[in-house]
Structure 1
């Protein structure tokens, strides 16, 4: 690849609009959706902003790397589910957990005490009908003006994409799993 010249002038006009809370979506079949959301959470926490993270598919007792790191930093991270559907022993129970988790997440969005609320892997309970899409859309539309919400997961509903301010689709190019390499602790946990 030949080198290119770096730009010497700003390649865009500086926006003149008013700052407000954003709805941010990370979706797609590639890796990095949750990781990107956690990066936002770290950035906000580093600026002294209140952050809360809800993980719709992780169990409340989960101790993955992100849980250990956020707990050490004092950032609340809460597992709301019982794992991915293929691991569930009772999908009705999974649906009840998702609905109860959504009630807690909705409260956190609407109470206005958090600068950023992350709804990690919420697209799954939305797609399965465990969390009502219209209620999520209404909550996002009526949230306090300065609350940012980041939602992650594959197969994001088009209505949510239309509502969002920023949408990033992670595209799978190549993955070690395809070559038979299992998930690595500290990389994919």
Structure 2
């Protein structure tokens, strides 16, 4: 065996020992709070990927879309017929289009009622609160209301919150935080969003 192969084998043995130790130390079983935030693309897509995974195992899933509900959504279209998936949308479009705080607040609270119901249901394994961060930023929802619903959810239920500028109290609560970092985005160079790629 060459010196390089020997070094590689030793490195992989050390890595395996480290991974095995981490796996052995992970003994707690419960639902998680995941936050997908940051300025980069892919937060909602990552959430839909987890939805697909949960549905693949036959779990019940609830998705609440606070911003993009009126947009075409390839993932939602593909999964809509799954009897274990429930989707609620805030059907007002982007808040910068409506420019009506009162109407947007009312629409947000109506769809939040659906989210709160899902968060209280022990049969729902995964709840996605897509673009929830904007509802908090614009003051349509109160952070204490959201925190209380998430904290009181069934212990086996996982929640994913997506959106830029995640509220610091949600970040403090989260088990896993992924920050999508934008390095370059085609839209900034004048390229339109592509069906089947961006939505």
Task: Give yes or no for TM over 0.5.
Answer: yes
2:100 alignment partner in structure 1: 90
Which runs of 5 or more structure 1 residues have no equivalent in the other structure?
none
Q: CA RMSD in A?
A: 1.6
CA distance in 2, matches of 1:180, 1:136: 37
Q: Where in structure 2 are the equivalents of 1:38-57 lying within 5 Å?
A: 38-57=48-67
C-alpha distance in 1, partners of 2:190/2:139? 33
Residues paired across the two proteins, number: 184
The 1:130/1:81 distance shift into structure 2, 3 A limit, reads farther
* Aligned residue among 123, 126, 129 for 2:139: 129
State which of 49, 56, 68 in structure 2 corresponds to 1:58: 68
Q: Aligned with 1:25: secondary structure?
A: strand
Which range is displaced more, 160-169 or 88-97?
A: 88-97
The structure 1 residue matched to 2:190, chosen from 172, 180, 189, is 180
The separation in 2 between residues aligned to 1:57 and 1:141, in whole angstroms, is 23
* Aligned counterpart, 1:171: 181
Q: Does 1:73 align with 2:82?
A: yes
**In the aligned structure 2, how far is the partner of 1:111 from the partner of 1:153?**
24
> Per the alignment, do residues 47 and 133 of structure 1 end up closer, same or farther by CA in structure 2, a change over 3 Å counting?
same
Taking the aligned partners of 2:26 and 2:186, their CA distance within structure 1 comes to 43
Gaps of 5+ in 2: 1-7
Distance in 1 of aligned mates of 2:126 and 2:26 = 23
- CA shift for structure 1 position 54: 0.7
**2:175 and 2:132 mapped to 1: Cα distance?**
17
| Counterparts of 2:172 and 2:159, CA distance in 1 | 15
Alignment counterpart, residue 45 of structure 2, candidates 19, 29, 35? 35
Instruction: Provide the C-alpha distance between the structure 1 equivalents of 2:57 and 2:180, rounded to a whole number of angstroms.
Output: 26
Q: How far did residue 62 of structure 1 move? A: 4.8
Alignment correspondent of 1:120: 130
Tell me if the contact between 1:81 and 1:94 (Cα under 8 Å) persists in the aligned partners.
no
CA distance in 1, matches of 2:12, 2:141: 46
1:105 aligns with 2:121: no
| Among candidates 101, 119, 138, match of residue 148 of structure 2 | 138
Task: Give CA deviations for 1:3-55 in whole Å, capped at 9, x if unaligned.
Answer: xx684432432133221010000000000100110011101110111111110
Verify: 1:149 aligned to 2:159, yes or no.
yes
Determine helix, strand or coil for the equivalent of 2:27. Answer: coil
Distance in 2 between residues matched to 1:118 and 1:166, nearest whole Å = 14
